[in-house]
């Protein structure tokens, strides 16, 4: 019972509905197709169970499937952890450093952010992932990252099985016009397969191979992105906050020395904040260990400065390239194609000359509002969504003389 309780944790029965979404349906379908085809190809055509190597291969395939599903369902159902509704800090004076969430009717603790999809304030929110139909945050960050590691490893193993199956079954049938390619298969143990390798079997194996290779590349890149922020003890949102902090300091020439508060100094210490032997990350999701030069509210104070900064100046970008709103635009470069945000938030098409007010982003993508009414930028109609960073360039700031004074009031 203890094993079953740790395998999947349901906060309530409504959590099961997370499966009824296109993200989990596609993800579980890919896992089922690759796992099933790899097992069938192994025991029927490639490496039967009556050999030692075949038995080890079969056990490894089952091991990948179990570990992938274990971490996937935990990432989905354990969830990121949510700030209690109506939460307030124990010290009431700390409320001046925190933002208030009108939806949750409480204050946002350090590192938490409100997710419009989950409709809750999420502990240490990184992003909302459509593939698990849940947020990636404090409690499930390790499970989510482990899934991103295991899925490419399992798919790589499956891809080898698919390739070797077609190699061993088709080596006598491969021909190119007048010549026949003969491959020496003397090193391969010959056996009588349970059924002939027919055209449907070849088509199914080839289809599964495409899924396995695509998953290995796409999910593998996501794994490296996640490990990059974990080793710095950041989230994707905090990386954007840090970037805006440096931009604000440079623009106003305040002379501040911004230090990211949650980087503990070494990658190993940062790594242990997320990955533990028990599977439960360190901390309660409210208070965090910080850099010696910082305190609990260093980053929240910076957020308040940036929020006040928005009221006195507009961070505007001007579109320099057309963009049709595609989710993965190959024409904008391979990095933009492969590092498209894994979110259900929309993409906004751009035309040269459009004005965009960016609020956050990554190295290759940005998120913000496209202004539809240029005459009234502050109150005009807008369209919100993601767009490639290479399609825009930063405009000059319209800053009043008292801007720096207004921003410095928040300290």
Check whether 185 has a pLDDT greater than 50: no
Verify whether residue 129 is a known catalytic residue: yes
Q: What is the 3-state secondary structure (H, E, C) of the chain?
A: CHHHHHHCCCCCHHHHHHHCCHHHHHHHHHHHHHHHHHHHHHHHHHCCCCCHHHHHHHHHHHHHHHHHHHHHHHHHHCCCCECCCCCCCCCHHHHHHCCEECCCCEECCCCCEEECCCCEEECCCCEEECCCCEEECCCCHHHHHHHHHHHHHHHHHHHHHHHHHHHHHHCCCCEECCEECCCCCCCCCCCCCCCCCCHHHHHHHHHHHHHHHHHHHHHHHHHHHHHHHHCCCCCHHHHHHHHHHHHHHHHHCCCCCCCCCCCCCCHHHHHHCCCCCCCCCCCCCCCCCCCCCCCCCHHHHHHHHHHHHHHHCCCEEEECCCECCCCCCHHHCHHHHHCCCCCCCCECCECCCCEEEEEEECCCEEEEEEECCHHHCCCCCEEEEEEEHHHEEECCCCCCCCHHHHHHCCC
The span from the CA of 123 to the CA of 129, in Å, is 15
What number is the average pLDDT over the span 110-139? 93
Q: For 314-394, which CATH class? A: mainly beta
- Calpha distance 347→214 (Å, rounded): 22
Average pLDDT on 147-176 reads 85
Which contacts of 166-171 are long-range, i.e. CB under 8 A and separated by 24 or more positions? 166/202, 166/205, 166/206, 166/209, 168/45, 168/46, 169/45, 169/193, 169/197, 169/202, 170/197, 170/202
Instruction: For residue range 334-388, list pLDDT tens digits in order.
Output: 888 888 887 778 899 999 999 888 877 788 898 888 888 655 444 445 688 999 9
> What Å distances lie between residue 124 and 31, 113, 140, 320, 356, CA to CA?
28, 7, 10, 35, 28
Q: How far apart are CA 74 and CA 153, in angstroms?
A: 19
pLDDT band at 178 (very low <50, low <70, confident <90, very high): very low
| Contact indicator for 156, 216 with CB cutoff of 8 Å | yes
- What are the extents of the domains in the chain? 13-79+139-177+191-232, 92-132, 236-310, 314-394
Q: What is the mean pLDDT of residues 18-30?
A: 93
Question: Residue 324: its pLDDT value, please?
Answer: 92
From the list 314, 342, 339, the residue with the least C-alpha distance to 389 is: 339
315 confidence band (pLDDT: 50, 70, 90): low
pTM: 0.80
Q: Give CA angle at 227 (222, 231), nearest 5°.
A: 160
Q: Report CA torsion sign: 75, 296, 116, 341.
A: negative
Query: Dihedral sign, CA of 66, 71, 75, 80?
Result: positive
Banded pLDDT at 170 (limits 50, 70, 90): confident
pLDDT for 307 equals 77
Q: What is the pLDDT of residues 192-214, one digit of tens each?
A: 566 677 888 889 999 999 999 99
pLDDT of the residue at 402: 39
Q: What's the mean per-residue pLDDT of the chain? A: 83
Q: Give 225-283 pLDDT, tens digit per residue.
A: 899 999 999 998 898 888 888 888 887 788 888 899 999 989 999 999 999 988 889 88
Q: How much is the average pLDDT of 134-148?
A: 95
pLDDT at 60: 94
| The one catalytic residue among 34, 104, 121, 129 | 129
Q: Please indicate whether residue 154 or residue 184 has the higher confidence score (pLDDT).
A: 154
**Position 176 pLDDT exceeds 70:** no
Give pLDDT tens digits for 69-113: 999 999 999 999 999 999 999 999 999 999 999 999 999 999 999
Q: What is the mean pLDDT of residues 386-398?
A: 82
Please give the pLDDT value at position 74: 94
C-alpha atoms less than 13 angstroms from C-alpha of 101 in its C-beta half-sphere: 24
**What is the Cα–Cα distance from 122 to 106, expressed in whole angstroms?**
12
Q: Which comes out higher in pLDDT, residue 185 or 266?
A: 266
């Amino acid at each position: 019972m203890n094993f079953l309780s740790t395998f999947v944790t349901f906060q309530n029965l409504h959590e099961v509905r997370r499966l009824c979404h296109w993200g989990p349906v596609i993800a579980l379908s890919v896992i089922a197709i690759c796992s099933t085809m790899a097992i069938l190809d192994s025991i029927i055509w490639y490496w039967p169970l009556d050999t030692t190597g075949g038995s080890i291969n079969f056990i490894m395939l089952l091991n990948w499937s179990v570990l992938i599903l274990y971490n996937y369902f935990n990432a989905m159902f354990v969830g990121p952890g949510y700030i209690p509704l109506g939460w307030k800090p124990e010290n009431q004076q700390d409320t001046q450093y925190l933002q208030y969430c009108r939806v949750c009717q409480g204050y946002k603790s350090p590192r938490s952010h409100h997710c419009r999809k989950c409709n809750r304030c999420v502990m240490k929110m990184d992003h909302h992932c459509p593939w698990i139909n849940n947020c990636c945050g404090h409690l499930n960050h390790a499970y989510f990252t482990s899934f991103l590691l295991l899925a490419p490893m399992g798919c790589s193993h499956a891809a080898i099985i698919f390739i070797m199956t077609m190699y061993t079954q088709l080596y006598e049938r491969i021909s190119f016009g007048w010549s026949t390619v003969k491959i020496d298969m003397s090193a391969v143990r010959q056996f009588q397969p349970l059924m002939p390798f027919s055209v449907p079997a070849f088509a199914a194996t080839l289809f599964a191979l495409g899924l396995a290779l695509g998953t290995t590349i796409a999910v593998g890149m996501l794994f490296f992105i996640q490990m990059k922020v974990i080793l710095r003890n950041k989230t994707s949102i905090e990386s954007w906050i840090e970037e805006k902090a440096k931009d604000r300091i440079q623009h106003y020439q305040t002379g501040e020395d911004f230090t990211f508060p949650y980087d503990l100094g070494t990658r190993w210490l940062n790594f242990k904040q997320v990955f533990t032997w028990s599977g439960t990350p360190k901390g309660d999701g409210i208070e965090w260990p910080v850099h010696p030069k910082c305190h609990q509210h260093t980053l929240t104070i910076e957020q308040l400065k940036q929020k006040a900064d928005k009221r006195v100046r507009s961070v505007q970008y001007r579109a320099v390239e057309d963009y049709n709103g595609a989710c993965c635009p190959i024409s904008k470069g391979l990095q933009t194609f492969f590092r498209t945000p894994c979110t259900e938030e929309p993409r906004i098409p751009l035309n040269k000359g459009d004005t965009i007010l960016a609020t956050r982003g990554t190295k290759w993508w940005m998120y913000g509002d496209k202004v539809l009414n240029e005459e009234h930028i502050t109150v005009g109609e807008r369209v919100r969504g993601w767009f490639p960073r290479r399609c825009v360039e930063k405009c000059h700031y319209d800053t009043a003389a008292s801007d720096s004074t207004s921003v410095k009031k928040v300290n």
